[in-house]
Amino acid sequence: LDRAGGSPLQRARLHTQLGMVLGAVGQRDEALALLDESEAAIATQLGPGSTGLVPTLNVRGTVYEGRRDVDRALADYARALAICEAHLSPDHPDVAAIFNNMALIEEHHERYDKARAHLERALEIRRRSLGAEHPLVGTTRMNLGSLLLMTGDSDGAITQFEQALAVLTRAQGADADIADIFYNLGIAYQARGELEQARERYQDALTRSELLHGPTSAEVAYPLLGLGEVLVELGRDAEARAALDRALAIRTREGVEPVDLGELRFAFARALTTVDRDRAVMLAQQAREDYARDGAQDHVQDIDTWLKGQVKRRD
């Protein structure tokens, strides 16, 4: 641009893209400085209500979100939404993308009703404007399913995940999403007590994750843990131990968060009680320390209760 004599508008658009990259690698102050310049230049060249501002507002909202500045993030998304609804239409795909971004913020801050309303609106828009088989419809269903699962609606989550799976299976390049859907379906079926269905979905997630990421990737530990927990519930302890032992080896190499290690160690402890009670107790105690470091007192109490039961059995 310097050599070619680029216009202020071209430079502003480049700054928006560079701001997105800087924000993605954590250089948020530098990103915001560029995005502020970009917004000012575009508003000067095209007007303060121009659709040309929408990409910059969306990117800056994402950067603010990464900095945990929720109010400013939502303010930028709200401005982008108002511009799109006024100049494009309330049913434009760009409007759906903004609703999706706003939903992620609301979900992160446990404002689940607002998050659900935003995702349902995004889904409605994308189905109408893009068609029911578009991959973005699948990913929106996936996001909505995750929210429903988080809020305890296993039935609703399964409906959304199964429909997302059908759409994304027919789309190209959706392998990672499909692996996540299989894993989330495992959680949902497990919560509903349908253990064999859960086991099948965890196995599907494991197979696909291994193909995508390799057999020792941290991503593989998630379906291994789910599979191990369900196998314990099904009384198939030997298979459970194999899955959980492998998951533990992966996670101790990766240096994961204490709560993730605690979850895995306690699951493994429950699978070991019939063959190696000493190791089971040791793992449970380590899990207790993991949860305590993370401030997860409910889990600490669960493990204390379990450990007392093991002492009584020994007596």
Provide the whole-model pTM: 0.84
Whether the per-residue pLDDT at 173 is higher than 70: the answer is no
Whether the per-residue pLDDT at 312 is higher than 70: the answer is no
Whether the per-residue pLDDT at 190 is higher than 50: the answer is yes
Name the maximum alpha-carbon separation found in the chain.
84
Whether the per-residue pLDDT at 269 is higher than 50: the answer is yes
Whether the per-residue pLDDT at 13 is higher than 50: the answer is yes
- Mean pLDDT value of segment 106-116: 93
Of the listed ranges 138-147, 161-170, 247-256, 275-284, the least confidently predicted one is 247-256
pLDDT of 315: 47
Whether the per-residue pLDDT at 254 is higher than 70: the answer is no
pLDDT of 252: 82
If you average pLDDT over every residue of the chain, what do you get? 92
Secondary structure string (H, E, C) spanning the chain:
CCCCCCCHHHHHHHHHHHHHHHHHCCCHHHHHHHHHHHHHHHHHHHCCCCHHHHHHHHHHHHHHHHCCCHHHHHHHHHHHHHHHHHHCCCCCHHHHHHHHHHHHHHHHCCCHHHHHHHHHHHHHHHHHHHCCCCHHHHHHHHHHHHHHHHCCCHHHHHHHHHHHHHHHHCCCCCHHHHHHHHHHHHHHHHHCCCHHHHHHHHHHHHHHHHHHHCCCCHHHHHHHHHHHHHHHHCCCHHHHHHHHHHHHHHHHHHCCCHHHHHHHHHHHHHHHCCCCHHHHHHHHHHHHHHHHHHCCHHHHHHHHHHHHHHHHHHC
- Mean pLDDT value of segment 60-75: 93
**How does DSSP assign 235-285, residue by residue?**
T-HHHHHHHHHHHHHHHHHHT--HHHHHHHHHHHHHHHTTT-HHHHHHHHH
pLDDT of 255: 66
- Mean pLDDT value of segment 107-136: 95
Where residue 314 falls among pLDDT bands split at 50, 70, 90? low
